């Protein structure tokens, strides 16, 4: 029986968010979270007939917060809030982003600080378990007062309105999807509409998903850098442990160790150390020699970003919030600046890692710098163009990544009649980071494809490999989906085939398995 992930009053782990949002893992609410929600709901119920204004209970929203709402209209207030705020537009947001959005909002509900009924949280949990994914457009959040439009579409679906994707990915009316899952639409009560939309949940979900991807991609970047060093007949001396101990950034030390281990025992590298082919260059180019410093800095950035995500996962973000002592307090915890900055910071690191990868690829294609290989790795240069245009594709992506590295969080645009006069743009930062992660995946795939071709041209192919054991394993994995060097052929499918191997981790698995076997 599949184990369920428990959502309770304590924080979810990032890997649990990924498991539910991306991989469809099932979840359940803990008993302590249900009790906490019941207690805070009692606080809200006690305010329902209070003549004193309470934001989100008996007032309007945003610039309309001064408007007093009669008791008989307070449920309608919540429904109207969701319908009016479900105003997104543009391309449909990826399923995993919407699921992460819903999960993070559910996690805040489970803290018992929002005042919602347990029925609302249980219905959200049931929607996630049933694979019901509300349709959300890419535009609609300014990253302040919560990811308002995206979260409103999710709440709207729970009310049985709007459109969703069912577990098969089909576009269906929300009411039909709820009925198929045996769920009843929820009629919102006081405070609940506001509690469903006032959080940084979408941008946080995108941060967690991107961080998981980048862990894999940075290990892949170490792998591709090592293959480039070997394929360009470089030196492994610069990756020595004692050298990196002189500047002991943890990420740099990790990267250098990865590259050193991947290159260990490489006949191609060893051949450069003695005899007629002894290494005569004083030092390799920066894109080879400084890979641990750049990849390590990206790891340090990732570590900082994950510390931000960890705090956010343990937070209760709503406005107003129901305090443990029963106070209902307005606040600004919904502001997305902490997450927006982190998303933008990560985009800078992604762009720089990709930029270095593209420079290594370019060295392979220049006959004056590739140490004896054909120009552009072409079978018959002039008749054939080899990987010339693959590098163009890399260059185009890298140029785009530099644009995506421009921070969204330095922008702000006032809204709600100047009541909400400073916003984070964190949602936009998250969307562009997702595009950047995809770009880095493609850039690394092209470098690895180029590496494999260059190494085949060095030693005659993987069956006569003179590579280190881990690199030989990677070359063999690539050759399962892409043929070896020959005259020019349709290149786009080969780039895509290797991109898939990077994305699903097959190349890392091959390298790491070979390393384990070599020391067993």
Q: How many CA atoms lie within 13 A of 455 on its CB side?
A: 33
Distances (CA, A) of 467 to 232, 363, 460: 12, 19, 11
Cβ–Cβ < 8 Å for 342, 309: yes
Residues 6+ apart with CB under 8 A from 439: 350, 354, 397, 398, 400, 401, 404
SS3 173: strand
What are the respective helix, strand and coil percentages of the chain, to the nearest 5? 60, 5, 35
- DSSP symbols for 28-96: EE-HHHHHHHHHHHHHHHTTTT-SS--TTTTB--GGGTT-B--GGGHHHHHHHHHHHH---EEEEPPHH
In DSSP terms, 164 is beta-bridged to 134, 172
Helices 426-459 and 201-231: crossing angle in degrees, nearest 10, is: 20
- In the residue annotation, 55 being an active-site residue is answered as yes
Cβ–Cβ < 8 Å for 143, 336: yes
Which residue's structure tokens are 């559910």? Answer: 106
Cβ–Cβ < 8 Å for 164, 220: no
Question: 495-507: buried (b, 16+ CB within 10 Å) or exposed (e) per residue?
Answer: beebbebbbeebb
d(CA 117, CA 122): 9
Positions of E strands within 206-288: none
Cβ–Cβ < 8 Å for 260, 314: no
d(CA 57, CA 61): 10
SS3 497: helix
Compute how many other C-beta atoms are within 10 angstroms of the C-beta atom of residue 168: 7
Specify the DSSP class assigned to residue 8.
-
Compute how many other C-beta atoms are within 10 angstroms of the C-beta atom of residue 185: 15
Specify the DSSP class assigned to residue 90.
E
Which residue's structure tokens are 């006959």? Answer: 367
Angle made by CA atoms 145, 349, 262, in degrees to the nearest 5: 135
Cβ–Cβ < 8 Å for 244, 207: no
- Closest residue by Cα to residue 447 from 512, 348, 365: 365
Distances (CA, A) of 158 to 90, 127, 226: 22, 8, 50
Specify the DSSP class assigned to residue 239.
G
Distances (CA, A) of 404 to 291, 340, 357: 22, 14, 17
In DSSP terms, 381 is beta-bridged to 384
Catalytic residue numbers read 55
């Amino acid at each position: 029986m599949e184990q369920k992930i428990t959502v309770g009053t304590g924080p979810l782990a990032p890997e649990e968010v990924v498991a539910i949002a991306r991989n469809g893992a099932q979840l359940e609410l803990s008993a302590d979270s249900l009790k906490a929600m019941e207690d805070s709901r009692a606080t809200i119920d006690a305010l329902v007939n209070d003549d004193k204004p309470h934001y989100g209970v008996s007032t309007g929203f945003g610039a309309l917060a001064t408007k007093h709402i009669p008791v008989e209209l307070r449920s309608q207030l919540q429904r109207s809030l969701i319908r009016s705020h479900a105003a997104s537009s543009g391309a449909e947001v990826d399923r995993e982003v919407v699921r992460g959005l819903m999960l993070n909002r559910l996690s805040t509900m489970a803290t018992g600080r929002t005042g919602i009924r347990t029925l609302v949280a249980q219905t959200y949990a049931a929607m996630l378990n049933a694979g019901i994914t509300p349709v959300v457009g890419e535009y609609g959040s300014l990253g302040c007062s919560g990811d308002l439009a995206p979260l409103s579409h999710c709440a709207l679906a729970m009310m049985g309105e709007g459109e969703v994707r069912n577990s098969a990915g089909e576009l269906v009316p929300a009411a039909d999807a709820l009925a198929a899952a045996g769920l009843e639409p929820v009629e919102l009560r006081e405070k609940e509409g506001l509690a469903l939309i006032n959080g940084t949940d979408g941008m946080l979900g995108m941060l967690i998903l991107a961080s998981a991807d980048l862990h894999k991609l940075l290990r892949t970047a170490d792998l591709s850098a090592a293959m480039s060093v070997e394929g360009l007949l470089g030196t492994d001396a610069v990756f020595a442990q004692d050298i990196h101990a002189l500047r002991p950034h943890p990420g740099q030390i990790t990267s250098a160790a990865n590259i050193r281990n991947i290159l260990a025992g490489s006949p191609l590298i060893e051949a450069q150390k003695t005899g007629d082919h002894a290494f005569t260059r004083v030092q390799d180019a920066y894109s080879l020699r400084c890979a641990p410093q750049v990849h390590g800095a990206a790891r340090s950035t990732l570590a900082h970003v994950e510390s931000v995500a960890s705090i956010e996962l343990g937070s209760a973000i709503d406005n107003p919030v129901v305090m443990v002592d029963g106070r209902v307090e307005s606040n600004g915890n919904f502001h997305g600046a902490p997450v927006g900055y982190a998303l933008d910071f990560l985009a800078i690191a992604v762009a720089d890692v990709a930029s270095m990868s593209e420079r290594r690829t370019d060295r392979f294609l220049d006959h004056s710098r590739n140490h004896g290989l054909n120009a552009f790795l072409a079978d018959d240069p002039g008749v054939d163009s080899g990987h010339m245009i693959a590098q163009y594709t890399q260059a185009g992506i890298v140029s785009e990544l530099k644009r995506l590295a421009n921070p969204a969080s330095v922008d702000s645009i006032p809204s709600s009649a100047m009541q909400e006069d400073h916003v984070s743009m964190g949602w936009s930062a998250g969307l562009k980071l997702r595009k950047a992660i995809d770009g880095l995946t493609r850039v690394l795939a092209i470098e690895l494809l180029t590496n494999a071709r260059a190494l085949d041209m060095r030693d005659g192919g993987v069956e006569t490999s003179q590579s280190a054991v881990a690199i030989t394993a990677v070359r063999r994995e690539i050759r399962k989906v892409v043929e070896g060097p020959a005259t020019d052929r349709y290149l786009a499918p080969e780039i895509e085939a290797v991109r898939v191997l990077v994305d699903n981790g097959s190349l890392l698995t091959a390298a790491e398995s070979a390393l384990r076997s070599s020391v067993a």
